[in-house]
Structure 1
Amino acid sequence: MIEKARISPSQLGMMMYLATTPTAILSTPAITYIFAKEDLWISPFWAFSGVIAVYVALQLHRMYPGLNLVQASERIVGRFLGKIIGFMFPLYYLYLNGIVVREYGEFVVGAFLLNTPLIVVTGSMVLICAIAVRGGVEILGRFSELFLPAFLALFLFILVPIIPDLKLSNMLPIMGEGIRPSIEGSFVLQTWFAELITVSYFLPYVADQGKAKISIWITFLMVVLTLVVSNLATLLLLGDITGSFTYPFLILARYIDLAEFFTHLESLYMAIWVLGAFVKICVFHYVTALGAAQWMRLSDYRPLVLPLGLLLVLFSIWVAPNYQELTHAISTSVTLSIMTVFVILPALLFCMAVVRNRLAGKAARR
């Protein structure tokens, strides 16, 4: 096994929560509102891709203990096809991480560091993440354990002061046009829920395997709950103008005014975004390097971290010419590709593994 370190089930849950939630809070309320309108807070409940991703990851780990998707592919479909499928996973993580890095850079430059070149912001973040990834999975687990309380505190510090100004009438009528708008609004959210398939790459390194399953399902429920709360708070404060902002949740932080002393606290939102983006970039970069090393049967993934970091910066430039097209791609082609690679393909591998094991069991009984 390339990685010798171990993480606890709670660290695994925290890592997956921070790798999913903060980036979803950034732009999903605006995109979801376009389709769901007043029902955007219902959309996170339709998290079917997350259910499939978590279930498939857990079942494949049970059937092939100690192996992730890259390794299990060869065992399920044979070496030739397994190599092709196994190559797709780290390559797609590299592409998807490029989108995350680009989102991070566009937000920081567009909202705060207006005169700073985008490449400086993205390059510095990737360099820091690469250093953390070289430390191993244990370092990522400890970072998550350290950052989660800070994220929750900042998240509540934004929500609590605006509670008196929330208008329940903004959420009416509930399902006024039926269930369809909320389901259509959940389409883009499936991108983030499908990313929970990433637990497959960390399950082999969990010290207490018995508690890992519970930790992952709790994490999934917490992700859904957090998105429901953030979408609902955004809707109750902004109402019909929710869809007109690029970062609606940022407006909530700017709205805070406590005794004309605590005002314009968008720096809190930036802190949430930076913490979440750091963990997510680290997790995806680790999976990319680990998967590539396992695919090439290397004894160590660390020599690949910095070269893949350079490729990651380049991918963040290539993914889209500007942020508007990137946002459009996230709500259309990126969602479809993520559903294919993170949900449909693993689900097909799982089905083939079930059939293969049953046929092997019947042959053994004969």
Structure 2
Amino acid sequence: MIEKGKISASQMGKMLYLAILPTAILTTPAITFKFAKQDLWISPIWALCGLIVIFVSLRLHRMYPGLNIVQACERIVGRFPGKIIGFIFPLFYLYFNGIIVREYSEFVVGAFLIRTPLIVVSGSIVLVCAIAARGGVEIVGRFSELILPAFITFFLLIVVPIIPDLQVTNMLPIMPEGIRPSIEGAIVLQTWFSEFLTASFLLPFVADQKKSQKSVYISLLAVILTLIVSNLVTLLLLGELTGNYTYPFLIVARYINLADFFTHLESLYMAIWVLGAFVKICVFFYVTVLGAAQWMNLSDYRPIVFPLGLLLILFSMWVAPNFQELTHAIATSVTLAIITLFVIIPALLLCLAWVKKRLRAESR
């Protein structure tokens, strides 16, 4: 086995939570508001892709224990077609992680380090993540366990002080046009919920397998609840202005002013973003490296960590010419690509595996 490390079911749940949420808090309030308006807080409830992907990942793991989706492809559709399909997953993870690195860099440079070149910010975070990923799944799991309490604490330090200034009228009327706007707003959110396919790569390393299913579903519920809270707080404070900002939740953090002393909490938002983005990039990079090594039948994934890290930096520069086009792509073509590759293809693979199993049972 390429990776001999083990993580607990709890660590896996924390890794998934931090691998999905940070970028969702960053941009989804503004994107969702364009479709759902005052119902943007309802949109995270429609987590259909998350449920499908978790079900598929757990079923494939049960049918092919110890194998992730890249390895299971060859068992399901044969060696040559399986190699072609299996190659798509690490390649797309590399591309998608490039988008995440670009989002991270654009936010840090645009909001805080205005004079710093993008390549410097991208290169520094990728280098740190590459070193962590090279340490193995246990290192990434322990980082997640360490960072999650700080992430939640900083999040609450932004949300709680703002409660007296929230205007409940901003969310009224609720569903004036029915559920359609909230579902339209949820379509973009399926990009983030589809990322739960990452569980397929982590499940083989979970020591307490009996608790893994519960941990994944708790992680999904935690992501939904956090998105509801962040969207709701943003809406109740900013109202119709929510759609005018690129980073609405950052504006919420900057609004806080307690007795002219407790102010400028955007530093807390920066801390949330840096800590969360570190884990997200780290998990996705580890999955990319692991999947690529398994696809190439290598005995160790460590030799390809830094070469793929360099590719990741290049992808982050190539994905879009500017942040506006990147945001537009996330709301359109990237959403379609992720749903196709992370939801539809794995679901088809599960159906083929189930048919194959039934035919094999009947032939006996």
- Alignment TM-score, normalising by the size of structure 2: 1.00
Q: How does 1:335-346 map to 2 (within 5 A)?
A: 335-346=335-346
Letter in 1 for 2:263: T
Aligned AA (1:2): I
Q: Residue 194 of structure 2 aligns with which residue? A: 194
CA distance in 1, matches of 2:296, 2:39: 47
Q: Is 2:121 aligned against 1:121? A: yes
Give the structure 1 partner of residue 91 of structure 2.
Answer: 91
Query: Partner of 1:101 in structure 2?
Result: 101
The residue that corresponds to 1:223 in the other structure is 223
Instruction: Give me the identity figure in percent.
Output: 73
1:265-306 Cα deviation digits (max 9, x unpaired): 101001001111100111111011100100000000011110
Aligned counterpart, 1:354: 354
Mapped partners of 1:353, 1:237: distance in 2: 49
What is the one-letter code of the residue matched to 1:247?
Y
Rounded to whole Å, the distance in 2 between the matches of 1:304 and 1:280 is 19
CA apart distance, 1:22:
1.4
1:50 is displaced (CA, Å) by 0.3
1:117-266 correspondence runs (5 A)? 117-266=117-266
Aligned to 2:288: 288
In 2, Cα distance between equivalents of 1:317 and 1:29: 25
Once residues 157 and 123 of structure 1 are traced to their aligned partners in structure 2, the CA distance between those partners, rounded to angstroms, is 30
Q: How many aligned positions are there?
A: 364
TM-aligned CA deviation for residue 149 of structure 1? 0.2
Paired AA for residue 73 in structure 1:
C
Structure 1 runs not aligned, ≥5 long: none
Q: What secondary structure is seen at the aligned counterpart in 1 of 2:116?
A: coil
How far apart are the structure 1 equivalents of 2:65 and 2:228? 34
Distance 2:81 2:58 in 1: 22
Other-structure match for 2:41: 41
SS of residue in 1 equivalent to 2:23: helix
Runs of 4+ more than 2 Å apart? none
1:179 positional shift: 0.8
What SS does structure 2 have at the residue aligned with 1:67?
coil
Q: Tell me by how many angstroms 1:215 deviates.
A: 0.4
Per the alignment, residue 77 of structure 2 pairs with 77
How far apart are 1:239 and its partner, in Å? 0.3
Q: Which residue type is aligned with residue 87 of structure 2?
A: F
User: TM-score, normalised to structure 1's length?
Assistant: 0.99
Q: Deviations over 1:132-171 (max 9, x none)?
A: 0000000000000000000000000000000000011000
Post-superposition offset of 1:23: 1.2
| Matched residue SS, 2:211 | helix
Once the two structures are TM-superposed, the CA of residue 32 in structure 1 deviates from its matched residue by: 0.1
Aligned to 1:329: 329
Shift of 1:5: 0.7
AA aligned to 1:160 is V
**1:275 corresponds to:** 275
SS in 2 for 1:202: helix
Aligned-partner Cα distance in 1 for 2:249–2:323: 18
